[in-house]
Amino acid sequence: MTVKLHHTRSGDGPPVVLLHGLFGSGNNLGALARALADTHSVYCPDLPNHGRSGWLEDASLATMADCVAHWMLHQGLPRSQFVGHSLGGKVAMQLALARPDLVSALVVADIAPVDYPAQHDAVFAALEAVAAGQCTSRDAAAALMAPHLQEQQVIQFLLSSLRRDADGVYRWRFNLEGLRRGYGAVRSKPVSSAPYRGPVLFIKGGESDYIREEHRAHILSLFPGAAVKIMPGCGHWLHAQRPGLFNSLVQRFLLARGP
């Protein structure tokens, strides 16, 4: 099953597709999109169950990757470079492994192709508190999230996915029930019958533990051409914490690989 994906496009040149993380939307990588727009046609889709895109009952990595493949067909994109952060990186890896003909180069930001334990219980509790709270302001929503989440950066990130309905109540734009139901599936590792042999760059936040030394062998088994760069002084939100460095690393890698 596939659903329609909402996207924005900017710039001119060879295509690059930017895929955001869990609970986000296509505009989360806006700083990178602006940096790449001088050299590329930049596409920023909302993943299924996120943003303004359609909702899926089965939100596995495979079905999300399949939706991206169908979206590329409708956009007339036979092949593209990809950049994915967190969940977006997993979806991009799954697409590269399943449909290597569609992916000319890949940047994966702070995620590995492995199974991850559940680590978003507090986030789901905060989201559900807002969903039940009938909030009429963003400040009220932030107040409901505060007992569950201590990081203001995370709260502000989540608030960007609120929308106000006709009754003036703020509701989540993403499919909260579907994300909760599919959480186990998106935490799983990508599946493949063969490695992806194209160029791949993994960028790790120096203070993040999402990519670990023990992941290296598995990364190279699936992506034998992979290189790893470490960004000091930042964690999982590396693209927001050190945008200049992150954008520079991505742009240099993509330009060196051509269209």
Please give the average per-residue pLDDT across 201-211, as a whole number.
97
In the predicted model, what is the mean pLDDT of the chain?
96
137 flagged as catalytic = no
Name the active-site residue from 50, 85, 148, 236.
Answer: 236
Taking 80 as the threshold, does the pLDDT of residue 207 lie above it? yes
- Rounded to whole angstroms, the Cα distance separating 126 from 158 reads 10
- Rounded to whole angstroms, the Cα distance separating 213 from 211 reads 7
SS3 content of the chain, % helix, strand, coil (to 5): 40, 20, 40
Name the active-site residue from 25, 53, 80, 86.
Answer: 86
pLDDT score of 257: 83
236 flagged as catalytic = yes
Please give the average per-residue pLDDT across 171-177, as a whole number.
96
Please give the average per-residue pLDDT across 64-75, as a whole number.
97
pLDDT score of 2: 82
Where do the structural domains in the chain lie, given as residue ranges? 7-116+187-257, 121-181
Please give the average per-residue pLDDT across 15-44, as a whole number.
97
pLDDT score of 192: 92
In CATH, the number for domain 7-116+187-257 is: 3.40.50.1820
